[in-house]
């Protein structure tokens, strides 16, 4: 009995081992199967909206704008930015371009959303500035009805405002990436490789039908052999230089084989179905790569370059290692003295602000009367303090302020938490000047951000200031602008007549403005602070924010467009349009003659001059005002 028991136990153990090995083998086979299936599904376009692209809800409805934020190539990334934010950003891009609603993505300065927002308060878990966008496409023919910003209503398709299947411009869907890609288009180096692929697609479409025909065995074998040879060559060839020396003979041989196949009596529907399937896969792949390229482009223009990040970090570390003497103490009498010319810049970009100041000072004949006030955040405050302690700009006085300082944060109970500089918007409208009535025209404008509406409280002793954006360079003396009579107006600004208030009725609402009035833009503005206080522009702006910001983070940044525009309604003095030439960050058509004659240049748009993706033709005007011989610039490889 003992022996029998031992044999039974041994047999059971053997059987258990066999089962374990079978399960192990089955598990391995399943893993191999899925490891092959997932890449295959990805390549065949079965990813069903795989999130590749840049962060935007693109919608060719008759009412959308896109917020870029004032990053200027610097990623203002808060501590709350994590992997889920990136995943959300990628998911946003996979939305259909024919989605018939208005949607916005806010800026990424962390602050809990509130139904009654104060200036400077921003929602939590918002996107990093520059990576987030919202969009408006306004039509002056058939405006779509929206109850208010952030509360979408179904568009009226019957009135002609929406045409599904209509041709949508590349720029409308992919933004300035399309402009950049056209200007940097390179000559094809794989024309023959592409021809190989085309022949391979056609041969594969005909082969199943030829193989079934009676008496066509030789042609079937010939076609199969040519297909295998093409596949073998394409497996090793990416460009024409990778092809074997006699590849032209292979092309000619396949061409003859395909001609024979076309002469056979085959079922056309089978071939058509096969070719249509290949065409659909190719179109899906093309669109996928377009999305991927646009997303990578967005990363390149909207994130902080390594050299600028290095510069900021090195300056901050050096400041705490060896703090410089406070030069501002000796200049304190100038900072609140209205007899001097005062310039204000809201910025996080050390290098950009430096160029703006340097260009303004060099272009002036009396730099001793100039005072620059730089308002930045706490992350860049100490780096900027050291920078301006190390570098001098003729006789101009420079003061760096931390807008997150408690003394500024609690001004007038506005609850300023973080810097909210100028916002950039991409606005698409129907262009009536073009032949095609559905052709969209895209323009880029900059507008005051939330922080600008603290100016009267921050500078209580000043009567007026000139506000500069950090993507502006000055080429001529601004004394005439400082002495300009604004005729009782608050904001002296350049009008942007390519866009008018009537084209933004879906955002601004009706009966609140003159439809024919041009939009005003920020960049170079003269502000009468006394008139600002008299008309309570800040209070008007707060009320407008409550109207356009519905308490969600989606509308926080986008609300700056209607709120800023309407706050200065009837309070804007139009400056000469030739004073500032804008668009140097996206428009390739600006002539050199216009640039040289203008008083100031503004690099609004994605392609900032300090980025590798900047427009080279325009970047040279910006680079000539860079500080030379700066140790930290050289150590961080900041390009000159």
Q: What is the pLDDT of residue 512?
A: 63
Place of tokens 């980025």: 611
Q: What would the 3-class secondary structure string for 25-71 be?
A: HHHHHHHHHHHHHHHHHHHCCCCCCCCCCCCCCCCCCCCCEEECCCC
Half-sphere exposure of 90 (CA within 13 A, CB side): 14
Q: What is the pLDDT of residue 578?
A: 86
DSSP, res 324: P
d(CA 88, CA 92): 6
Angle, CA 126 vertex, CA 122 and CA 130 arms, to 5°: 100
Q: What is the pLDDT of residue 414?
A: 53
Contact 599, 475 (CB under 8 A): yes
Closest to 115 in 3D by CA, of 556, 629, 607, 632? 556
Q: What is the pLDDT of residues 362-421, one digit of tens each?
A: 999 999 999 999 999 999 999 999 999 999 999 999 999 998 887 776 665 555 577 888
All residues at 6 or more sequence positions from 489 whose CB lies less than 8 Å from its CB, including other chains: 528, 531, 571, 572, 573
Closest to 53 in 3D by CA, of 87, 83, 19, 11? 87
Report CA Rg, the chain. Answer: 31
Contact 127, 107 (CB under 8 A): yes
Provide the whole-model pTM.
0.70
407's tokens = 């003394």
Dihedral sign (CA 370, 375, 379, 381): positive
Q: What is the pLDDT of residues 327-362, one digit of tens each?
A: 777 788 889 899 999 999 999 999 999 999 999 999
Domain ranges of the chain: 1-43, 191-302
Q: What is the pLDDT of residue 258?
A: 86
Q: What is the pLDDT of residue 75?
A: 42
Contact 602, 523 (CB under 8 A): yes
Using 70 as the pLDDT threshold, list the residues of the chain that sit under it.
1-21, 34-169, 188, 409-416, 431-439, 511-513, 553-554, 640
């Amino acid at each position: 009995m003992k022996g029998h028991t031992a044999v039974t136990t041994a047999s059971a153990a053997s059987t258990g081992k066999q089962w374990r090995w079978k399960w192990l083998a089955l598990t391995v086979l399943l893993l191999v199967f899925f490891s092959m299936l997932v890449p295959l599904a990805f390549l065949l376009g079965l990813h069903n909206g795989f999130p590749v692209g840049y962060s935007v809800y693109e919608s060719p409805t008759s009412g959308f704008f896109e917020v870029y934020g004032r990053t200027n190539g610097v990623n203002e990334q808060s501590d709350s930015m994590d992997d889920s934010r990136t995943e959300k950003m990628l998911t946003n891009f996979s939305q259909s371009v024919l989605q018939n609603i208005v949607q916005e993505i806010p800026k990424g300065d962390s602050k809990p959303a509130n139904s009654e927002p104060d200036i400077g308060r921003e929602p939590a878990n918002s996107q990093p500035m520059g990576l987030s966008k919202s969009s408006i496409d306004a039509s002056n023919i058939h405006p779509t009805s929206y109850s208010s910003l952030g509360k979408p209503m179904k568009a009226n398709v019957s009135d002609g405002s929406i045409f599904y299947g209509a041709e949508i411009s590349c720029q409308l869907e992919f933004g300035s990436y399309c402009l950049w890609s056209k200007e940097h288009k390179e000559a094809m180096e794989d024309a023959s490789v592409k021809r190989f692929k085309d022949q391979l697609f056609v041969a594969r479409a005909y082969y199943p039908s030829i193989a079934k025909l009676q008496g066509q065995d030789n042609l079937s074998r010939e076609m199969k052999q040519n297909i295998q040879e093409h596949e073998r060559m394409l497996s090793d060839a990416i460009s024409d230089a990778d092809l074997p020396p006699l590849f032209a003979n292979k092309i000619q041989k396949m061409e003859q084989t395909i001609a024979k196949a076309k002469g056979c009596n085959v079922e056309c529907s089978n071939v058509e179905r096969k070719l249509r399937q290949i065409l659909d896969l190719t179109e899906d792949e093309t669109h996928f790569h377009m999305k991927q390229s646009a997303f990578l482009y967005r990363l390149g223009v909207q994130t902080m370059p390594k050299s600028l990040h290095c510069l900021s970090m090195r300056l901050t570390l050096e400041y705490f290692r060896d703090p410089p003497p406070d030069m501002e103490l000796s200049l304190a009498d100038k900072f609140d003295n209205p007899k001097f010319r005062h310039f204000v810049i809201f910025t996080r970009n050390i290098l950009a602000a430096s160029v703006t100041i340097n260009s303004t000072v060099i272009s002036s004949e009396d730099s001793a009367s100039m005072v620059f006030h730089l308002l930045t955040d706490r992350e860049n405050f100490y780096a900027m303090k050291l920078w301006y302690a190390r570098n001098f700009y003729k006789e101009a006085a420079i003061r760096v302020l931390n807008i997150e300082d408690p003394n500024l944060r609690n001004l007038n109970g506005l609850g300023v938490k973080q810097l909210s500089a100028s916002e950039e918007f991409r606005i698409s409208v129907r262009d009536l000047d073009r032949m095609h009535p559905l052709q969209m025209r895209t323009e880029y404008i900059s507008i005051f951000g939330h922080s600008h509406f603290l100016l009267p409280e921050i500078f209580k002793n000043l009567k007026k200031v000139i506000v500069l954006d950090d993507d502006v360079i000055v080429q001529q003396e601004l004394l005439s602008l400082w002495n300009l009579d604004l005729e009782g107006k608050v904001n002296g600004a350049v009008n942007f007549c390519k866009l008018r208030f009537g084209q933004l009725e879906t955002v601004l609402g009706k009966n609140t403005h003159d439809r024919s009035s041009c939009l005003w833009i920020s960049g170079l503005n003269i502000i009468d602070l006394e008139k600002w206080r008299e008309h309570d522009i800040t209070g008007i702006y707060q009320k407008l924010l409550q109207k356009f910001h519905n308490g969600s983070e989606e509308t926080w940044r986008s609300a700056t467009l209607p709120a800023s525009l309407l706050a200065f309604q009837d309070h804007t003095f139009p400056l000469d349009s030739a004073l500032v030439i804008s668009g140097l960050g996206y428009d390739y058509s600006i002539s050199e003659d216009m640039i040289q004659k203008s008083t100031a240049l503004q690099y609004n748009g994605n392609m900032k001059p300090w980025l590798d993706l900047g427009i080279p033709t325009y970047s040279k005007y910006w680079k000539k005002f860079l500080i030379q011989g700066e140790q930290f610039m050289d150590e961080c490889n900041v390009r000159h």
